[in-house]
């Protein structure tokens, strides 16, 4: 059978970098089992949409994408549209009943048998979607006993590298450290459908990193729901500190970046390792969420302006030009004007490179959804707009502070037409997609090059730099 006669499948990925890894694992399984991967959904026999179920806007995007894919059944070769991912896992049968345009809704437990599932769906067999359950109950309460579980954990495939197939040819790739979360933040539903925290074994992480190095990857982006917990279920909470130098030593890899650090768990040894290990970017993705101590406790989190600023001082003591980004929630139930002022004062003092601002909204099944003290939607929107305007100004100021700074830029895109933004990449303080770009002026660099440059200008979070 020629490749053209194989059943074709297109993967459409929504949401975070963790979902991207899951999609590439699914793609690897499908290709290994005889499916032909195509880029354009219009050219596919089946379209698999890896959905996001994080917030309302993401859910809407997922539904819209599924509906658009379903339209292809009327006009193209597409025979089936299948929903996978967080929204599919979170809502299961409910999503299937409310969205009949999708031919099936598959949960995480279907991933190991994804090829058989798709073949049966294309053949017209009916798939009965699962009834969602709290996936934390699938794993032992004790983290050290979780390695004995047989529950499906997306993105944790071990063994042959063929279990992952790159869907993007760029020089950066996400690499999963862990999945799930043991924290109980009152606003967050993720642990209920992603499950309790499970670390990948270092040998599996390293094997996948080595394979990525052979695929042209220059930067590894380590992802999880909480990277500061890595290793706790393997009996060594300092495991990330020892793993980082091994990842940097992988052939082909030039940079390693760690994402999603929980401020309350960010220990001094980890700060030092990220800030000073050669090849590891001094980049700190710190999920502050707010700065008011009383409001953070209502969120089931810990911290206050003094402890957060002390952590930032510690980071900058090791690496003065370190990149720091965060996210904050505005309009949480019970947030007072004084709480909001405390947050704004902290943001001014913190000098963060980028801050994501989210207006609070209830999430199904969360503790916060039951709280009193809810703010009016218009008030939440007004507060979010106020903080967003402040953040936009602070981000621009922080970028301007970097003019004259020497940076190392990983080139990710090169346009043919001559222009000031023809060569685009990221400096060490800029994470993929969310932290702005650095454009190289008068450069002949190619995709994948690491270029030493000096910053000559800034616009918003973006920098302009000239090669040295």
Q: Which residues are annotated as a binding site for [4Fe-4S] cluster?
A: 16, 52, 86, 181, 185, 188
Are 406 and 454 within 8 A, CB to CB?
yes
Q: How far is CA 67 from CA 29, 135, 267, in A?
A: 25, 28, 45
Nearest CA to 155 among 111, 113, 191? 111
State the DSSP string of 422-451.
SEEEE-TT--TTTS--EEEET----TT-EE
Cite the annotated binding site by residue number: 16, 52, 86, 181, 185, 188
DSSP-based three-state secondary structure for 64: helix
Cα dihedral 149, 155, 156, 161 sign: positive
Pairing mode, strands 406-414 and 423-426: antiparallel
Nearest CA to 424 among 435, 438, 434? 438
Q: Pull the structure tokens for residue 425.
A: 């990449």
Contacts of 317 (CB under 8 A, 6+ apart): none
Are 157 and 216 within 8 A, CB to CB?
no
Query: How far is Cα 111 from Cα 84, in angstroms, rounded to an integer?
Result: 9
Q: Pull the structure tokens for residue 315.
A: 């980071």
- What ranges make up the beta strands (E) of 206-345? 219-223, 255-258, 283-285, 323-330
Cα dihedral 386, 323, 425, 391 in deg (nearest 10): 10
Q: C-alpha 90: how far from its chain's center? A: 18
Q: Pull the structure tokens for residue 176.
A: 């999963």
Are 428 and 369 within 8 A, CB to CB?
no
Side-chain-side CA neighbours of 366 within 13 Å: the count stands at 25
User: Which element (helix H / strand E) includes 409?
Assistant: strand 406-414
DSSP-based three-state secondary structure for 157: coil
């Amino acid at each position: 059978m020629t490749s053209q006669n194989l059943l074709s499948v297109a993967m459409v990925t929504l949401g975070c970098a963790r979902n991207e890894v899951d999609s590439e694992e699914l793609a690897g399984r499908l290709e290994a089992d005889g499916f032909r991967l195509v880029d354009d959904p219009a050219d596919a026999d089946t379209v698999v949409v890896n959905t996001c179920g994080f917030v309302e806007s993401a859910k809407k995007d997922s539904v819209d994408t599924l509906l658009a894919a379903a339209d292809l059944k009327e006009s193209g070769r597409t025979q089936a549209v299948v929903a996978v991912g967080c929204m599919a896992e979170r809502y299961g049968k409910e999503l299937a009943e409310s969205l009949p345009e999708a031919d099936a809704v598959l949960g995480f437990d279907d991933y190991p048998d994804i090829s058989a599932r798709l073949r049966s769906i294309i053949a017209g067999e009916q798939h009965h979607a699962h009834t969602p359950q709290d996936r934390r109950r699938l794993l032992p309460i004790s983290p050290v006993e979780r390695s004995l579980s047989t529950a499906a954990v997306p993105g944790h495939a071990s063994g042959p590298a063929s279990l992952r197939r790159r869907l993007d040819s760029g020089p950066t790739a996400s690499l999963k450290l862990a999945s799930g979360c043991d924290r109980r933040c009152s606003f967050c539903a993720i642990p209920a459908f992603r499950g309790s925290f499970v670390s990948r074994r270092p040998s599996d992480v390293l094997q996948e990193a080595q394979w990525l190095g052979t695929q042209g990857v220059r930067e590894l982006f380590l992802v999880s729901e909480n990277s500061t917990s890595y290793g706790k279920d393997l009996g060594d909470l300092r495991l990330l500190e020892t793993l980082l130098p091994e990842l940097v030593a992988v052939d082909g890899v030039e940079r390693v970046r760690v994402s999603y650090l929980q401020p309350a768990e960010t220990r001094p040894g980890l700060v030092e390792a990220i800030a000073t290990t050669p090849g590891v970017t001094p980049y700190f993705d710190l999920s502050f969420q707010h700065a008011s101590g009383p409001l953070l406790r209502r969120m089931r989190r810990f911290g206050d302006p003094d402890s957060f600023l002390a952590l930032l001082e510690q980071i900058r003591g090791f690496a003065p030009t370190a990149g720091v980004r965060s996210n904050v929630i505005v309009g949480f139930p019970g947030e007072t004007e004084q709480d909001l002022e405390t947050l704004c004062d902290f943001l001014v003092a913190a000098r963060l490179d980028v801050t994501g601002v989210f207006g609070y909204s209830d999430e199904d099944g969360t503790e916060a959804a039951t709280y009193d003290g809810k703010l009016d939607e218009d008030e939440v929107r007004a507060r979010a707009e106020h903080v967003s305007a402040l953040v936009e100004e602070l981000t621009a100021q922080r970028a301007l502070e970097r003019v004259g700074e020497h940076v190392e830029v990983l080139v990710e895109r090169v346009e043919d037409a001559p222009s000031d933004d023809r060569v685009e990449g990221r400096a060490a303080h800029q994470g993929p997609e969310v932290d702005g770009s650095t454009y190289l002026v008068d450069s002949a660099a190619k995709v994948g090059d690491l270029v030493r440059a000096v910053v000559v200008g800034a616009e918003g979070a973006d920098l302009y730099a000239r090669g040295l």
